[in-house]
Structure 1
Amino acid sequence: MAMLWSKISAVLPVNEEQFPLHFSDKVESSVVEMLKRSRQQLYSDATSTSRMLNAQIILDYSWEKLNTGTWRHVDKEWRRVYSYGCLFKVAALCCEDPSVDEVLQAVRTCDMGLLMGAAVLDNILQVIVRILQSEVRKSTKEEDECEHAEVKRIKIGCPHVPVIKEELAVPRMKCPSLESFNTNYLLPLKPVILEGIIDHWPALNEHPWSIEYLRSVAGCRTVPVEVGSRYTDEEWSQTLLTVNGFIDRYILNKDGGKALGYLAQHQLFDQIPELKDDIRLPDYCCLGEGDEDDITVNAWFGPGGTVSPLHQDPQQNFLAQVVGSKYIRLYSPEDTDKLYPHQSQLLHNTSQVEVENPDTERFPQFAKAPYLECVLQPGEVLFIPVRHWHYVRSLELSFSVSFWWS
C-alpha cells in the first residue's frame, strides 16, 4: 500500500492553480473556503487527521443539503460539493500508507460520491476507485481464492419451470432483420423473444457472469440493494451494501436470513465499467427516436423467488437474460381496466392483483384478461412494448439487463 498515494497523486491536478473550485452563490462562501482549505492540504504535508477533519465537515454539511426535500430538487452544486468532500476524504485515508480497511473505506467513499454526488474533475472518483480496487485485489488475493473455491461447491437447485401452453407462448424469432422487427413487432407493439442477438456478449463468452466473476470485478463496491420479495410489500426497503455483502447475505444466505434482496439499479454499469464492457446495446435500439445516450441500462441481480409485480413502463424495453431463468407474463395496455391498477399516484403503473394467486372476489375481471407468457433463458432477449403490463418472477439465481428506449 506504500505506493498507493503516489498513484492517486498522479491523477490529481498537478497543483492548486489547476484544481478548479468554482460554484454559484447557492453554495455559501464559508463552504467554499473549507473546500479551498482541503484543496491546499492536498498539496502540502498536512496530516491525515487534519485532512480528515476538514473533509468530514464538508461531507456532513453537504449531506444535509442532499437530504433536504425531494431528490429532484437537490441542486447539482451541492452534489458537486459532496463529491469534492469524498475526494478529500479519500486523500485523508490514503496519504499515509493506509491499511486494507482504510483502502476499503476509501472505495466506499468513492462509491458514495459516484452514487450521490456529481462528476468533478473529469469524473476523477471513477479513476481513483479503479486504482483502489487494484490494490484491494492484490491484498486479498489469497482470501478471494478461498472464497471462490467455496462458491464453486455451491449447487444452484434446479428450478421448477412452469409449463407454457403453446397458445399462450410469446412468439420467438431468431435474429430478425431490422426491417422485419420494425414491421412485425415494434410498430404493432407486439411482444417477441429474440434469439441469437446477444450471443456475442462477453458476459456470455470471455467473461461469463457468475458469483465468482461479480466478486472479482465488484466485490468491494458499495451499491443500492432492494430488500424484500417485491416493491409493493410493506416490509420492502432499500439499503447500501457491498456486492460481497449482498452475495453473502441474500444469495448464499451465510447469516441464515430468509429475506430476499435484489440488486436493481441503473447506475451499476456507470459505477462499474468492467461490467458495462461485458454487454452491448441491441442493434434494434437504433429504430428508436432518441440518441444512444437516452437509453437507460438497468441491472437486475438476485436469488430465485424475487418478483416484479405486474406493472407497465413508459418506454420500450429489451430484457436480456444473462444468468438463470425468469417466468414472465404480459398483458396488453388495452386490458388495463381488468388489471386493477393502484389508485395512488405513486403506484398507478402497478396492478393490485397478485398474478399467480389472484383474489377473484376483489378482482373478478382479472381472469378475463388475455395474456402471453414465457420462460426467459440465458442468451434470450424479450421485447416488452411500451405500456405493456408485465409480471416477472426469478426461477433461480438470475442476472438480467434491461434497456429502456423510446
Structure 2
Amino acid sequence: MAGHNTAVNSNDVLETPVLDVEAHSLLQSISEEGGYAYVSMSTRAADGDIRAAEAAREVAWEQLHSGPWHSVLPVWRDAYSMACLHVAKFHYANGEFKEALRVLDMGLIMGGMVLRKDLESAVGKATERANAILRVSEESVNGSANAKLVTTQNAINLIETLQILPKNSLSCKHVGKRSSLSLEGFMRDYFLPGSPVLLTDSMTHWPAITKWNDLNYLKKVAGYRTVPVEVGKNYLCNDWKQEMLTFSEFLERIQSNSCDDDHIQELRNDIVTPDYCFAGGTEMKSVNAWFGPAGTVTPLHHDPHHNILAQVVGKKYVRLYPASFSEELYPHTESMHKNSSQVDLDNIDVSEFPKIQDLEFVDCILEEGQMLYIPPKWWHYVRSLTTSLSVSFWWAAPTSPASPTSSF
C-alpha cells in the first residue's frame, strides 16, 4: 500500500539540514574513492530525478556488499544514507509514507553516521503521517482488544522446562539476587569485583512494563518500521541469515513461531536507562530491544562491555561462566567468532570438549521486571522460555577492571 488518495501539502516536505550542509564535501569524498557515477546520479537526484536517486542508492548498495562489512569504506555508508534520503523525499512528497519509512529505515540500518540526524528526524515526521493514514483497521482493533504477547496461560512448568535446558541447569549456584540495590552498593559489591547480579524492583517505573505486552500498542508504535530479523537456529549455524521485515510482519511471524529474533529501537521512550549504567564514568555503547518467540537461543559467548539485560515481557533462562574459564570453554579461533564458544550447551560433545564437564557456573530464570548485570568478558548462554521482549544496555567504563576474573 504505497499510494494514497490524500491531499499533499506542497510545503510539507522532509527537511535535511545536515545533508544540505554536508552534501558538497560528501560528494567530493565519494569522487576521491572513484564514485563518479554515484556523484553524477546523486546530483541529478537532488535536482528532482527519482530514477537517478534510485540508481544512486543501488550503486551505494553494491559498494556496501563488495566485501566483508568491516572493509567497507565509511564514505560509502554515508553515500547510502544520502541516497536513501533523496528517495524517501520523493515517496513522502507523493504521500507514500509507508514506503518512505521503509527507505529511511534501511538508511539507518545500513548507512553511516554523518546523516543520521536527518534520517531520524525524517523517520519521526513520516511516522506521524503514516500513523494518521495507515491505522490498524477498526475491525482489527476490536477483534483483538485484549491481544497479549504473553498471558498466564504461558506460565512455564519447571519440570518441562528442565527437559529443554542444558544439562544440570538450575542445579548449581544461582545468580545472587538483590532488591532495590543502591548505586553505591552495586559498584562496591558487583561492578568493581566483576560479578553478576540479578536486580529486582528497578523497572517498576518503566512505561514498557505495562505497554509492551499489548500487541495493538506495538503495532501502533512500530508497526510500519523496518527491522532486521534473525532467522535460523543461531548466528553460528550455516542456515542463519538476516531478513528485513516491517515490525507488523514480524509480529505475525512471532504469533506463528516462524522466526527467531529481532532487535527494535522504536520503543525508546518507554524505557529508562538504569542508574547502574552510570557506574565508573559511563560511555553508553548501545541500547537495543530484543524480541523473539519461545525457544530462541543465544549461544555461549562473551561481550567486551558491561551489560544490563532487562526483561520486560516473558521469561529467559541465562547461564554464566566467569572470564577465567575462557580456555575451558573452547572459543572459536577465527576472528569473527572468537568471542563465541564452540560448545553447543544444548548438545554437548564431551569427547570433543571434555574440559567443560566439571566447570562451575551460575544461572537463573530472568523474570519480567528483573535486570541481570553481566560483567565484561563473562560467558553467557540465553534461552527464551516464552515469547520474550527484553532490553540490553551496553556501556564502557574506563575505571572498571580491564578483565574481571571473579569466580562467584
TM range (shorter): 0.7 to 0.9
Residue 319 of structure 1: how far off its partner (Å):
0.7
Residue of structure 1 equivalent to 2:402: none
Residue of structure 2 equivalent to 1:260: 259
Residue of structure 2 equivalent to 1:35: 42
| 1:11–1:348 CA distance, 2 compared to 1 (3 A) | closer
The whole-number CA distance in structure 1 between the counterparts of 2:286 and 2:128 is 28
| Match of residue 154, structure 2, among 140, 154, 157 | 157
**Are the counterparts in 2 of residues 229 and 259 from structure 1 also a CA contact under 8 Å?**
no
Residue of structure 1 equivalent to 2:403: none
Q: How does 1:288-367 map to 2 (within 5 A)?
A: 288-291=280-283, 294-367=284-357
Residue 378 of structure 1: how far off its partner (Å):
0.9
Q: How does 1:3-402 map to 2 (within 5 A)?
A: 3-6=7-10, 8-9=12-13, 11=15, 20-23=23-26, 24-27=28-31, 28-41=35-48, 51-96=49-94, 98=95, 102-119=96-113, 123-143=117-137, 146=140, 149-150=143-144, 152=146, 157-161=154-158, 162=161, 168-205=173-210, 207-249=211-253, 251-253=254-256, 259-264=258-263, 268-269=264-265, 272=266, 275-291=267-283, 294-402=284-392
TM-score by length of 2: 0.83
CA deviations over 1:116-164 (Å, ceiling 9, x no partner):
2235667223222223222322333352651573484576633334577
**Are the counterparts in 2 of residues 228 and 259 from structure 1 also a CA contact under 8 Å?**
no
Residue 235 of structure 1: how far off its partner (Å):
1.2
The residue type equivalent to 1:36 in the other structure is T
Residue 386 of structure 1: how far off its partner (Å):
1.3
The residue type equivalent to 1:239 in the other structure is E
Q: Secondary structure at the match of 2:363?
A: strand
The residue type equivalent to 1:84 in the other structure is M
Question: More displaced, 209-218 or 376-385?
Answer: 209-218
The residue type equivalent to 1:325 in the other structure is K
**Are the counterparts in 1 of residues 30 and 79 from structure 2 also a CA contact under 8 Å?**
no
**Are the counterparts in 2 of residues 338 and 368 from structure 1 also a CA contact under 8 Å?**
no
Residue 29 of structure 1: how far off its partner (Å):
4.9
Q: Secondary structure at the match of 1:365?
A: helix
| 1:244–1:7 CA distance, 2 compared to 1 (3 A) | farther
Residue 219 of structure 1: how far off its partner (Å):
0.7
Residue of structure 2 equivalent to 1:46: none
> Aligned pair count?
376
CA deviations over 1:246-288 (Å, ceiling 9, x no partner):
1112x111xxxx6432103xxx42xx3xx11111211112213
Residue 321 of structure 1: how far off its partner (Å):
0.5
CA deviations over 1:356-385 (Å, ceiling 9, x no partner):
442233323322001111100111001111
The whole-number CA distance in structure 2 between the counterparts of 1:182 and 1:149 is 49
Q: Secondary structure at the match of 1:263?
A: strand
Q: What is the identity percentage for the equivalent residue pairs of Structure 1 and Structure 2?
A: 36
The whole-number CA distance in structure 2 between the counterparts of 1:118 and 1:353 is 35
The residue type equivalent to 1:124 in the other structure is D
| 1:5–1:11 CA distance, 2 compared to 1 (3 A) | farther
CA deviations over 1:175-203 (Å, ceiling 9, x no partner):
22222111211122111101112221121
**Are the counterparts in 2 of residues 339 and 369 from structure 1 also a CA contact under 8 Å?**
no
Residue 396 of structure 1: how far off its partner (Å):
0.4
Name structure 1 gaps, 5 residues minimum: 42-50
| 1:117–1:153 CA distance, 2 compared to 1 (3 A) | closer
| 1:57–1:153 CA distance, 2 compared to 1 (3 A) | closer
The residue type equivalent to 2:24 in the other structure is L
The whole-number CA distance in structure 2 between the counterparts of 1:78 and 1:347 is 26
Question: How well do the aligned residues superpose, as a CA RMSD in angstroms?
Answer: 2.7
| 1:77–1:19 CA distance, 2 compared to 1 (3 A) | closer
Q: Secondary structure at the match of 2:156?
A: coil
The whole-number CA distance in structure 2 between the counterparts of 1:116 and 1:18 is 22
Residue 172 of structure 1: how far off its partner (Å):
0.6
Q: Secondary structure at the match of 1:281?
A: coil
**Are the counterparts in 1 of residues 223 and 248 from structure 2 also a CA contact under 8 Å?**
yes
**Are the counterparts in 2 of residues 318 and 402 from structure 1 also a CA contact under 8 Å?**
yes
**Are the counterparts in 2 of residues 321 and 381 from structure 1 also a CA contact under 8 Å?**
yes
Question: More displaced, 383-392 or 334-343?
Answer: 334-343
**Are the counterparts in 2 of residues 311 and 351 from structure 1 also a CA contact under 8 Å?**
yes
| 1:157–1:312 CA distance, 2 compared to 1 (3 A) | same
| 1:368–1:76 CA distance, 2 compared to 1 (3 A) | same
TM-score by length of 1: 0.83
Name structure 2 gaps, 5 residues minimum: 163-168, 397-408
The residue type equivalent to 2:218 in the other structure is L
